[in-house]
Structure 1
Amino acid sequence: MDYSENTVSYTTTNSYATLNSLTSQTKNVWIVLHGIGYLSRYFLRYFDELPPEGNYIIAPQAPSKYYLNNTYRRVGASWLTKEGTEQETQNVLAYLDAVYAAQEFPENCNFIVLGYSQGVSIATRWVAQRKIKCNQLVLYAGGIPNELNASDFSFLKENHTKVTTLVGDTDEYITKERRKTESKKNRASVCRKSRTNFLRRRARNKKRTHPKSSIMNKTLVLENELVKLVPLKKRT
């Protein structure tokens, strides 16, 4: 079989969702990157109890949509897979660049980048490769990609970026060995002067740390202002 795999460039269109309005009263602008199996408009529901007048939230949409189960009713999406990761990463970063360029916001706003689960790998790649100057980087229940190292994030120190990692202590995907590995990566790269919160679930089962749980009832310090991430309602 004379097989070859080729590539072609073309223009595509993707959506993104926003919550609240960007006004002169806005203090915090968020870019929040959802995990695998989400749609951006539903992910935004987890931020709807932040004070609307002070917080403008932008939720980019992962490009690869699929049905979540055999009923063919619920749809989720993925940012990347192990197939063609390098090329797909560049496609995703180009999309995030376009979202960022389309959303002009005042420089006096606190700019926060948050990644959840698979969204952590996207957040860290985007921030590192594009040298995004954010006031705070929040890494929630996800890992830093292996190809990134300390030098990729050295500019964060110069920018005085605050980095917070949130990890569930009963997360079924975070074994003791992986926790050690991720802690080393955090200390060696973006989290040299950050704080890591190990969050205890109240549920009896050891399911993956999820935004629906009480772990978002935390307070992040943003430029001398306390912005509370409220307990998130259970959604169906």
Structure 2
Amino acid sequence: MEKEVTYQSTNTYDTLNTLTSNTKTVWLVFHGIGYLSRYFIRLFQSLDPTENYIIAPQAPSKYYKNNEYNRVGSSWLTKENTSIETDNVLRYIDAVVTEEDLPGNIRFIVLGYSQGVSIASRWIASRKVYCDDFIMISGGFPKELSKNDFSFLTKKTKVTHIVGENDPYFEKAVVAKEIIRVQEILPQITFKTHSGGHELDITTIENI
């Protein structure tokens, strides 16, 4: 018999730069499967440190990536107990944002890369998060989300989806169908590509 228990848990997250009165943009960035937040956040080091503050939550499930047991990766969700795990992750993100106590007069960007797209989009939809920009990179959009989940967003929220032209995880026919579906849900979305594969190319988002 499978049972459930509720308990308090602690998790880490990483930040880059310092939140000051000079900060213009706060980025909440969600890494993909296999990453740790402290490594993922380094991809944003080229952004102006005086104007940009980056917050990278850490996926809670850790695992060893090789047989030498010296490289650690992490995952946000699996097909096992997805609903419960999603609720746990979303409550963790709530706690991160509450802890950071972000000012209201800044540009707020939510970015998801690869598996992080599913977390970013579910968090925005379930918490009705008003962000200035929502950026999805090389990730699939959750199948359960619909246009009603994002009806609170206005056209002021800029939505961008970016995928590499040589991404081995995305077949062109599948991408074409996804574009149609996501456009119906988020009609203000813009689709972009870069010449690489399944990676976050910082140059594609620096001027968004």
Same fold (TM over 0.5): yes
Q: Which amino acid aligns with 1:185?
A: R
Q: Please report how far the alpha carbon of residue 199 of structure 1 lies from its aligned counterpart in structure 2 after TM superposition.
A: 1.6
Tell me if the contact between 2:44 and 2:202 (Cα under 8 Å) persists in the aligned partners: no
Alignment correspondent of 2:203? 217
Alignment correspondent of 2:144? 147
Q: Please report how far the alpha carbon of residue 176 of structure 1 lies from its aligned counterpart in structure 2 after TM superposition.
A: 2.3
Aligned to 2:74, the other structure's residue is in SS state strand
Q: Please report how far the alpha carbon of residue 133 of structure 1 lies from its aligned counterpart in structure 2 after TM superposition.
A: 0.8
Root-mean-square deviation (CA, aligned residues, Å) is: 1.3
Distance 1:57 1:216 in 2: 13
Question: 168, 172, 176: which one pairs with 1:176?
Answer: 172
Question: 47, 62, 65: which one pairs with 2:62?
Answer: 65
TM-score using structure 1 length:
0.85
TM-score using structure 2 length:
0.96
Alignment correspondent of 2:9? 12
Distance 1:195 1:60 in 2: 25
Tell me if the contact between 1:136 and 1:161 (Cα under 8 Å) persists in the aligned partners: yes
Distance 1:41 1:228 in 2: 24
Q: Which amino acid aligns with 2:46?
A: E
After superposition, where does 1:196-235 map in structure 2 within 5 Å? 196-201=191-196, 208-211=197-200, 215-219=201-205, 227-228=206-207
Identity of aligned residues (%): 51
Pick the structure with greater CA Rg: 1
Could you report, residue by residue, the CA deviation over 1:171-218 in whole angstroms, capped at 9, with x for unpaired residues? Answer: 11111232022112220112x1121002222xxxxxx4112xxx3212
Q: Please report how far the alpha carbon of residue 42 of structure 1 lies from its aligned counterpart in structure 2 after TM superposition.
A: 0.4
Aligned length: 208
Aligned to 1:184, the other structure's residue is in SS state helix
Question: 103, 120, 125: which one pairs with 2:122?
Answer: 125
Tell me if the contact between 1:28 and 1:111 (Cα under 8 Å) persists in the aligned partners: yes
Over 4 Å off, 4+ runs: none
Tell me if the contact between 1:50 and 1:228 (Cα under 8 Å) persists in the aligned partners: no
Question: 80, 85, 95: which one pairs with 1:83?
Answer: 80
Aligned to 1:101, the other structure's residue is in SS state helix
Q: Please report how far the alpha carbon of residue 105 of structure 1 lies from its aligned counterpart in structure 2 after TM superposition.
A: 1.8
Distance 2:188 2:26 in 1: 23
Question: 181, 192, 195: which one pairs with 2:190?
Answer: 195
Tell me if the contact between 1:144 and 1:185 (Cα under 8 Å) persists in the aligned partners: no
Q: Please report how far the alpha carbon of residue 52 of structure 1 lies from its aligned counterpart in structure 2 after TM superposition.
A: 0.3
Q: Please report how far the alpha carbon of residue 157 of structure 1 lies from its aligned counterpart in structure 2 after TM superposition.
A: 1.9
Runs (5+) with no aligned partner, structure 2: none
Tell me if the contact between 2:14 and 2:38 (Cα under 8 Å) persists in the aligned partners: yes
Q: Which amino acid aligns with 2:56?
A: A
